[in-house]
Every structure is written in C-alpha cells, then in structure tokens.
Structure 1
Amino acid sequence: MSKITTSISIFLCTLLFFGHANSRLYDQEHQVLMELKQHWQNSPSIAHWTLSNSSHCNWQEITCANNSITGLSLINMSISETIPPLICELKNLTLLELQYNNIPGNFPITLYYCSKLKHLDLSQNLFVGPIPQDIDRLSELRFLNLAANNFSGDIPASVGQLKELRVLHLHQNQFNGSIQPEIGNLQNLEELLLAFNRKAMPSKLSLNFTQLRNLKILWMREANLIGEIPESIGMLTALEVLDLSTNGLTGKIPNSLFKLKHLSELYLHKNKLSGEIPQFIESLNLTVIDLSANKLTGPIPNGFGKLEKLSQLSLMFNQLSGEIPESIGRIPALTDLRLYSNNLSGFF
C-alpha cells in the first residue's frame, strides 16, 4: 500500500471516528433535553421539544457550536420547577438564561458542575435564602444576573473571587446584611447594579469600589448608603452612569466627580449632601444631572453652560442662591430644567 493510500485511509477513519462521536454526543444531549422537558412538567412553551422533531440546534431556545449545545435561553416560559442537576450533563453549556419564570428554592448549587458556564441569568424568579459562600466555584462566569428575586443575608465576599466577571446584577433583592467591599476586587467589572436593596445594613460606599477602573455603570439607588462620597470616586475613569440616589449620603459632592470624561448620567437626588456644587465642570458628555432634594448651597455653577449635550438639569429642593447663569439658557439640548424651591435671585 502506497503512502498516499495509507494517508487517505487514516483520514477517512478519522472522519468516521469524529462523525460517530459527534452523533453520539448529539443523541446524549437530545436525551437531556427530553428529561429537562419532563422535569419542567412538559411546559407548553417547549411542547415542540420532541424526539421526532428536527435538529434541536434549530430550536429557538437552543444555541449550538459544532453540533453541541452551548446555550439555553428559556425566558418567560412559565417554568415553576427547580433547576435539575442533569442540566450540567450538557458539557459544553456556556450560557444559561432562565429569567422571567417562577423558579423556586435556594440558589441552584448544582450549576457548579456546569464547568464552562460564562453567562448565567436567573433574574425575575422566586429564589430565596443566601447566595452561597462558595459561589466562586463558578469561576468562568463573565455575566451574573440574580436580580429581582428574594435572596437575603450578605452578598458573600467570595463574589469578589469571580475574576472574569464583567456584569454583576444583584438589584431588587432582600439582602439584609452588608455589601462586601471585596466586590472591588473585580478588576474586569463593567456593570455593578445593587439598587433597591432597602433592607441592607447601612454602609459606606466602599473605597474598594474606586478600584473598578473598567466600571461603566454603578447603580446603587436605595441601597442604604451612608457617609460621604469619597474623592477617590474620580478614579473610576470609565464611568458613564452613576446613580447613588435615595440614600443617606452626607458631605460634599467631590470635585473629582465632575472631572470624569465619560460620565453621561449623574443621579444624586434624595440624599443629605451639603456644601456647594463643584464649580469646575470637565464632564462634557453629561446628558442628565439630578442633584435635587439635598441640602446644597451656594451658586449654580456657570460651568454647566458648557454641557452642550445636557438635556435634563434638576436642582430643585435645595438651598441654592445667587443668579441663574445665563449660559444655562444657551444649552442647545436642554429640554428639562427644574430649579424651583431654592433661594435663587435675579432674572433668567
């Protein structure tokens, strides 16, 4: 047998081997889907999951790569049963979306066995109890959304060990412990949403959070924050949206806040902030500023007039004084201006 013939034979054998392995993996994963359907009480929304139907890789809830399942998106499917361990028999699963269902119980630690999981969305369900202290076992996660459930206790320090996280959404829960500063260890984090955790223990905005140099969105409205906004918040150089409204924050607005080049939306309303608004404004991308319902004094910064993209400026219910800068009347994008309930004088 010539070398060419031998090479062809080896190539064909390899094709047959991988073809057989692929077929076996497909059959195994299809069976897992059938068992999931049965566990979820044959939910009408996945009635099309059948043995005789076309390839499951063509089903809208399924994402495949190389004929193997990598994603399950079962959003708003009226699922009211738990997440079974067998889901991790889908060995190549990287994305799991189960939001807007009625899934009960504690955090499903069986997902620890989904070793390739990068994207996990369990928001808008009925989960209760604490987030496990060893959640860092999901070490590959880049996206974690547990919002709008009934999780309680502390946000565990181990969350800070999920080094690959880009997105962390924990808003609208029942956390009654403290917000752990270890979250500041997530150097790749771009979105941190902790709003509407009204039962959280009163806590200061952690200095560790100012280490999040890639953070674009920080949403901590109604998170029971107290104390001052640290001057080091100016280190969040990628920040685009900052919402610390409806808390118990005191002290002055840091000068560094209006030096953030990418900042577009700033919400600090309904706090106890005092002193003057910083006069030097370098955040020229601002579109919204809401500093209303505080204890701010002094003049309205003339520098606000430089903000050509500003569409909303809310400063009402403070103790501001002096004249309204003429430059504000020349802001081309401004459509919503609220300055009432202050001690302003002169004409606009």
Structure 2
Amino acid sequence: MKGDMVAGGWKGEKGQRPVSEIGWQGLKSLSKLKMLNLRWNELKALVTSSGKFPDSISISPSLEALGISNNHMSGKLPRWMGNMSSLMGISMFSNHFEGPIPVEFCKLGNLEFLDLSENNLSSSIPSCFNQLKVKHVHLNRNQLSSLITRAFYNSSSLVTLDLSDNHLNGTIPSWIGSLHVLSILLLKFNNFEGEILVQLCQLKQLSILDLSENNFFGSIPPCFREIPFKTTYEKSSLETGYQMGGISTFSLWSFVEGLKSLGEHYMMDVGYGTIIFHSLDVQQKVELTTKHESYAYKGNILDYMSGVDLSCNHLKGEIPLEMGNLSNIRILNLSHNNLFGSIPSTFSQLKQIKSLDLSYNRLNRKIPSQLIELDKLEVFSMAHNNLLGATPDRKAQFATFEESIYEGNLFLCGLPL
C-alpha cells in the first residue's frame, strides 16, 4: 500500500480512498488475528458511511475476542459472525444494533462471554442458545420480547444471566432449576408473571436474584432458605484456563500507525486465557438497587455481593420465617408488594445485611425488638405499612436512622417519631 495518510482517507496512486475501506481491507489481511478491540468510538474510522457493519467481511477465522462497545454502530447484528468458530468473547454493548439476535450465533461453540446489552435488539432469544457452553450472558437493556421458551435450557455452564430491562413475558420456565452453577439471575423490569417457582430453590450456587418490577403474584416460597446465597469467585471470573502464546492483537491505533506495513501480526502478547477478556477491557457488571438507588457492581466486588430483590410485584401473604436463614445476604428488598402480617423476628439472624427494605406493604404488627442486633445495617425502611406499637430502641445502627424510615405507619410511636 503506497501513499500518505490524509484527513478522511489514504492518498495513493489511485487517489484518495476512505479510511473505512482501507480499514476493512486491513483486517482481511490479518490472517492470524486473535483479538480485535475497537471500543469507545474508535470504530468511527472503520465503519461504513452509514455507521453499519458490512454485510459480509472476511476477518481472521482464528479471532477469539471481538470488542466494539461504546460506539455508534447501527443496523442488524452481522450473521457472518456465526462463522467465527474460535470466538470466546464478544463485547458489543452500548451501540444501536437492532432487529433479532441472529441464529447463526448458536454456532459459536467456544463462546464463553456475550455482552449485547444497551442496544435496540428485539424479537425473541433464539432457542438454539441452549447449544452453547457460554458462562456469562448480558442481554439487558434491549427490547427483547416474547417467552424465554428453551433458550437456556440445560445450559450447564451458565453462571450469569442478565435479561433485565426488556419486554419479556410469560412465566419463568421450570427448567430454570437445572442451571446448577447459575450464580446471578437478573430478570427485573420485564413483564414476567405467575408465581415465583420453587425450582429456583434448586439453584444452590445462586447469590444474586433480582425479580423486581414484574407481575409476579402469590407468596414467597419458604424454600428460599435452602439457597445458601454464598459469595463465589465464579461471579467475576472470566478465566478460561486456556494457555496461549504469541497472541496477535489489533487496535485502531496500531492499525493507523502501522498501516504501511501490514503483516501477519501487529502486536504480540503472551499469557493465559484471561488475556482474551482483558484485551476487550470487559469485566462482569450487574446493577442492584440498594440505598434506594441503582448501583453498578463490577469486577471482584461481585464476589462479595449477595442479595434478593422481589420488589414492585404483586406478592401477598406473610413473609416466611425461613427467610431469616439467609444469613449471607447483604441486600433484601421486598418493598412495593401486598405482604401482610408481621416482620419475622428471625430477621435478626441476617448478620451480613446492609440494606433491608420492607416499605409499601401491608405489614400490620409490632416491629421485632431483636432487629437492633443487625449491626451492619446501613439502609432500613418499613415506611408505609400498618405497623403498630413502639419503635425499636435507638441503639447501635438504629440510633442513626431518621423518622422517614417509619413514615406512613399511623399507629407507631416512640423516637425518632
């Protein structure tokens, strides 16, 4: 390739050519490319004038990691990605992709990490996803609809499933209990309905469960006590255990700087399987509501997070006494339901709890005095219920709480009221 780089293209023997054209041709010549990361708007120099991926392109068949997150890519997800059989990690979040997830993705037999979140993807999740050995799936903040059907049926490797902020409906499928290593299940902000399945209690590795902002009804299954909700390294781990050497990687910077001498390799790196995901600059990230706001937890901090959020549904009945056995959880949110009866005194056993929200229910008895034993409690609310009697003694953490945590309970008395 001869000539000089100029604004908007390459000036050579045949005149100026657009950077996007040169870019895709450059990628075709990198036959041993292992990693391609064009995140954070760097892709502007490589996309077509319409801001879309080309309908067909020949990228290295040995590519193992593809990252094009935080760009302005639009159009449909390219079907040709299904031919990249070596792909282990795909990070394409925060773009404007639309339309369905191509069924061709089901051919990616080595895929372990998939993040298509924060796009405009629609239609249903392909049922053939259950053929994959993927560990972490992030499809949140899209417009996916319809039922889950068998999309993740028998997905024995699945650790993270984030389908929150979509338009999914129907009931949680009963096969959910077969996902024995599932640790993070996020289904909030959808249109799921029906009772909360007891099959969830079969998920012994589960540590984060968020079913909030749906249409679930019925009672809370007492069998939740059977879930340890322990912290686990699997939540944040992106290790593959796969030894690699002489890895070819590619970035837009190396492309521009080295455009005059295209060869088999641009950058060399040596390491273990984690280098694949580090090269994409991705890490596990989930959002949880605590302290009355939504916070993003990512990386190693996830290993220490555990919690249950069942808020904003139509749950009724009494809070099971057995929920006091969830001694490992740090977040419990049961607000905005139709729960009645008493606050279980067994909640005093929630020794790790930092955020407990029982507001906007129909709880109608005394507040257990044993709750003052919760010495790690930072956020607590029982507002807008029908509680009566005296408020707990202003000791330990309860000495820090203000009147607002009790508001909307006409028959409560005592400080700080």
Relative to the length of structure 2, the TM-score reads: 0.65
Letter of the 1:196 partner, please give it. D
| 3-state SS in 2 of match to 1:258 | helix
Distance 1:239 1:89 in 2: 38
- Give the match for residue 126 of structure 2: 156
Residue equivalent to 1:247 = 214
Tell me the alpha carbon deviations over residues 46-80 of structure 1, each in whole angstroms, 9 at most, x when there is no partner. xxx99xxxxx9xxxxxxxxxx95321222112525
C-alpha distance 220-41 of structure 1, shift in aligned 2 (>3 A): farther
How far did 1:342 drift?
1.0
Is the contact made by 1:320 and 1:344 (CA closer than 8 Å) also made in structure 2? Answer: yes
Q: Which residue identity does 1:332 align to in structure 2?
A: D
Matched residue SS, 2:228? coil
Partner of 1:11: none
1:238 paired residue number: 205
Cα distance, 1:194 vs structure 2: 0.4
Per the TM alignment, residue 87 of structure 1 is displaced from its structure 2 partner at its CA by 6.2
Aligned to 2:20: 39
Q: 1:88 to 1:212 in 2, by over 3 A?
A: farther
Indicate conservation of the 8 Å contact 1:88/1:111, yes or no.
no
- Preserved contact between residue 309 and residue 332 of structure 2 (Cα < 8 Å): yes
Q: How far did 1:88 drift?
A: 4.9
1:165 corresponds in structure 2 to: 134
The letter of the residue matching 1:304 is F
Contact 1:78 1:102 in 2 (8 A): no
Q: Is the 8 A contact 1:142 1:166 kept in 2?
A: yes
Query: Which stretch shows the higher mean deviation, 287-296 or 318-327?
Result: 318-327
Amino acid at match of 1:222: F
| Letter aligned with residue 165 of structure 2 | F
* Count of residue correspondences: 289
C-alpha distance in 2, partners of 1:309/1:184?
A: 33
- 2:307 counterpart of 1:265: yes
1:270-297 CA deviation, whole Å, 9 max, x = no partner? 0000001110232211111000000001
- Quote the residue 1:27 is aligned against: none
Q: Which residue of the partner structure matches residue 282 of structure 1? A: 325
Question: Cα distance 1:133–1:42, how it changes in 2: closer, same or farther (>3 A)?
Answer: closer
Residues 176, 199 of structure 2: 8 Å contact kept? no
Q: Which amino acid aligns with 2:91?
A: D
Q: Is the 8 A contact 2:81 2:104 kept in 1?
A: no
Aligned residue among 277, 294, 303 for 2:346: 303
| Cα distance in 2, alignment partners of residues 174 and 41 from structure 1 | 34
2:101 is aligned, of 122, 131, 138, to 131
Matches within 5 A, 1:199-218: 199-200=167-168, 202-218=169-185
The answer to whether the aligner puts 1:76 opposite 2:46 as a matched pair is: no
Question: Quick check: 2:79–2:104 contact (8 Å CA) kept in 1?
Answer: no
- 1:34 aligns to what? none
Q: Any idea what the Cα deviations from partners look like across 1:205-264, whole Å, max 9, x if unmatched? A: 111112111111101111111000011211011011100001000000111223311252
Matches within 5 A, 1:19-38: 38=19
SS in 1 for 2:365: strand
**Counterparts of 1:209 and 1:228 in 2: how far apart (Å)?**
14
Q: CA deviation at 1:144?
A: 1.0
- In structure 2, what is the Cα distance between the partners aligned to 1:282 and 1:259? 9
Change (3 A) 1:259 1:325: farther
SS in structure 2 of the partner of residue 187 of structure 1: coil
Deviation at 1:115, TM superposition (A): 1.8
* Pairwise CA distance, 1:128: 1.1
Separation in 1, partners of 2:361, 2:325? 23
The percentage of counterpart residues that share the same residue type is: 30
Partners of 1:89 and 1:312 in 2: how far apart? Answer: 48
Q: Which amino acid aligns with 1:176?
A: S
Partner Cα distance (1:258, 1:138) in 2: 37
User: Aligned residue for 2:248?
Assistant: none
Instruction: Pick closer, same or farther for the CA change 1:258–1:88 going to 2, 3 Å.
Output: farther
CA distance in 1, matches of 2:202, 2:368: 29
Matched residue SS, 1:322: coil
Given the alignment, which residue of 162, 182, 186 partners 1:193?
Answer: 162
Gaps of 5+ in 1: 1-36, 44-48, 51-55, 57-66
User: Whole-Å Cα distance in 1 between the matches of residues 321 and 22 of structure 2?
Assistant: 62
> CA-to-partner distance for each residue in 1:116-169, whole Å, 9 max, x for gaps?
00101111111111112342111211111111111111111011111x100111
Counterpart check, 1:146 vs 2:110: no
State yes or no: 1:177 paired with 2:219: no
- Please give the alpha-carbon distance, in whole angstroms, between the structure 2 residues aligned to 1:97 and 1:78: 11
Query: RCO (CA 8 Å, sep 6+): is it higher in 1 or 2?
Result: 2
Kept in 1: contact 2:137–2:162 (CA 8 A): yes
Query: How far is the alpha carbon of 1:174 from its aligned partner?
Result: 1.2
Question: What is the aligned-residue RMSD (CA, Å)?
Answer: 2.3
1:95 Cα deviation from its structure 2 partner: 0.8
Equivalent-residue separation in structure 2 for 1:217 and 1:88 (angstroms): 36
Q: Could you give the per-residue CA deviations for residues 2-58 of structure 1, whole angstroms, max 9, x where no partner exists?
A: xxxxxxxxxxxxxxxxxxxxxxxxxxxxxxxxxxx9437769xxxxx99xxxxx9xx
Amino acid in the other structure paired with 2:129: V
